[in-house]
Amino acid sequence: MKKIEIYHGSSQIVSEPEIRIAKYHKDFYYGFYCTMIRNQALRWATRFGEAGYISVYEYTENQNLKILRFETMTEEWLDFIANCRTGHPHTYDIVEGPMANDTIFNYVQGFVDGKISRSAFWELARFKRPTHQISFHTIAALQTIRFISEEKVYG
């Protein structure tokens, strides 16, 4: 079985992940979000200019779950994020792919709002640094991750 180390950055240690319903919809809808990129988790943990925590997990893929994976930003990725961000749920247990970071999010929102065209989105988005996110959307999905450790970090 494939096992990888993933990270979650926030203002607190998250030893027992859960899916929280928030005021707004994220890239892949409601879920528990992690990344394989430690520096990205560091940015998440310290985004408010204060100390935060990186929680470290071991993720073991379960082939029986419904998993959607985007290797790169594609037309399908853009449409999926646009649907999720406008409140349309999906039926996947786990979704993995590039993240619409702050800059990309603005472009996605411009696309969703009809302020920029699809081709303009791709022109603006193509030079942004790589990002990664893996989101867990069901209890079965959360059972694929095991808390390993935490680290206090500073911005």
When pLDDT is cut at 50, 70 and 90, the band that residue 1 belongs to is: confident
Neighbours of 97 (CB within 10 A): 23
Task: Please give the mean pLDDT across all residues of the chain.
Answer: 91
Does position 25 have pLDDT exceeding 80, yes or no?
Answer: no
CA separation for the pair 27, 88 (Å, rounded): 11
Work out the average pLDDT over 45-57.
93
**C-alpha dihedral (15, 16, 18, 24), degrees to nearest 10:** -20
Work out the average pLDDT over 34-48.
93
pLDDT digits (tens, 9 = 90+) for 67-109: 999 998 899 999 999 999 889 999 999 999 998 766 777 888 8
Q: Specify the pLDDT at position 155.
A: 75
- Could you tell me which residues are beta bridge partners of residue 8? 55
Question: Whole-model pTM?
Answer: 0.88
Angle, CA of 104, 107 and 111, to the nearest 5°: 140
